[in-house]
Amino acid sequence: MQDLILNNDKKIPLIDYGVYQIPKEDTYRCVKKALEIGYRLIDTASTYLNEEEVGRAIRDSKVLRRDIFVVTKVWVSDFGEEKTKIAIEKSLNRLNIGYIDLVLLHQAYGDYYGAYRALEKFYKNGSVKSIGVSNFYTDRLLDLYMNMEIKPMVNQIECHPFFQRKEDIELMQKLNIIPMAWGPLAEGGHDIFNNEVLKEIGAKYNKSNAQVALRWNTMRNVVVIPKTVNELRMKENFTIFDFNLNDDDIEKINKLDTNKTEIIDHHNLEVIRMLNTFKYE
Ligand code: NAP
């Protein structure tokens, strides 16, 4: 297991487990299994509607709470200093694991300044150990960074071989904000699991396309949070530190970049309307 260090000196593991789209009834089993396999960071969100099951799996696991890193997110409809305070309290209650390791603002819409101020308060009172954002493009990220007292520790963004986010990552690393890749397997898009370039590279190391894609991101110090409900694939995605890609491999993967989202276009007006009006409760 390898870690990175956040700007508040806390450790964050490079290979993690995401629970988006895992139904409530499967989440407990999946999170317990992931912890057993060795994952130590679980990424959830209020909108995933499975925080309670994540918390229960953590409480029932043999792994000590202090060795587990739990991430959750506040949704846009809960943005605003007062509303975000209530939303974080609800997440703390649903998770029921004492404190939350990292709370992120899920999207860069609505009153995210007010929301971020609430995050800062929870950070200061110690019930949230680190704070950050998600889906912030460089312009909004830099603006927030320049205006807030506690600098974001993480920005979680879509990031995989077909949407590599080179400039975004460069800025984050300059600002000492850890990039965390959601959709690190492009949610299966671009036929990633059969991609010939990844396959050819993987064959040299006896690794799958998924393992090559995850290793590529972690080798540039991007945290990855692949999701799978399948135990074998959980193990597969976790076993990525026993090989290194060489410069030639990396150059070939770099050429796969389409510089376009595979999943959700945050600049599309319909998407902005949808994300601003979506309610999860
Ligand atoms: P992903 O991890 O890129 O891809 C998940 C898909 O790949 C699932 O269909 C999974 O199917 C399949 N898969 C996983 N490992 C595989 C393997 N080794 N071989 C073949 N298929 C494999 O997509 P994601 O779930 O969207 O992203 C991961 C996490 O990022 C989420 O769970 C969530 O925590 C976070 N996320 C955050 C945001 C945000 O806005 N901040 C947005 C989306 C996601 P099976 O389950 O059937 O294996």
Report the amino acid identity of residue 71: V
**Average predicted confidence (pLDDT) for the chain:** 97
pLDDT attached to residue 281: 85
Asked if residues 155 and 134 have their Cβ atoms less than 8 Å apart, the reply is yes
Q: Is any atom of ligand 1 closer than 6 Å to the C-beta of 156?
A: yes
Sign (positive or negative) of CA dihedral 65, 71, 76, 79 = positive
What is the position in ligand 1's atom list of the atom closest to the CA of 184?
3
Q: DSSP H helical segments within the chain, as ranges? A: 24-37, 51-60, 81-95, 112-125, 138-147, 166-174, 196-205, 209-219, 231-238, 247-254, 269-277
Ligand 1 pocket: which of 185, 224, 229 to mutate (most atoms within 8 A of CB): 185
Question: Residues of the chain whose pLDDT is less than 70?
Answer: none
> How confident is the model at residue 51, as a pLDDT?
98
Tell whether ligand 1 has an atom less than 6 A from the beta carbon of residue 109: no
What is residue 262's predicted lDDT score, i.e. its pLDDT?
78
Give the pLDDT of residue 1: 74
Q: Give the model's pLDDT for residue 49.
A: 97
Task: Give nearest CA residue, ligand 1 atom 48.
Answer: 228
* Residue 228 beta carbon below 6 angstroms from any ligand 1 atom: yes
Output the six-digit token pair for 162: 């077909």
Determine the pLDDT at residue 278. Answer: 96
The residues assigned a catalytic role are 48
The alpha carbon of 225 and the centre of ligand 1 are apart by a number of angstroms equal to 8
Distance 21 CA to ligand 1 centre (A): 8
For 166-208, the pLDDT digits (tens) are 999 999 999 999 999 999 999 999 999 999 999 999 999 999 9
Is the C-beta atom of 187 inside 6 A of ligand 1? Answer: yes
Task: Give the tens place of pLDDT for each residue, 42-72.
Answer: 999 999 999 999 999 999 999 999 999 999 9
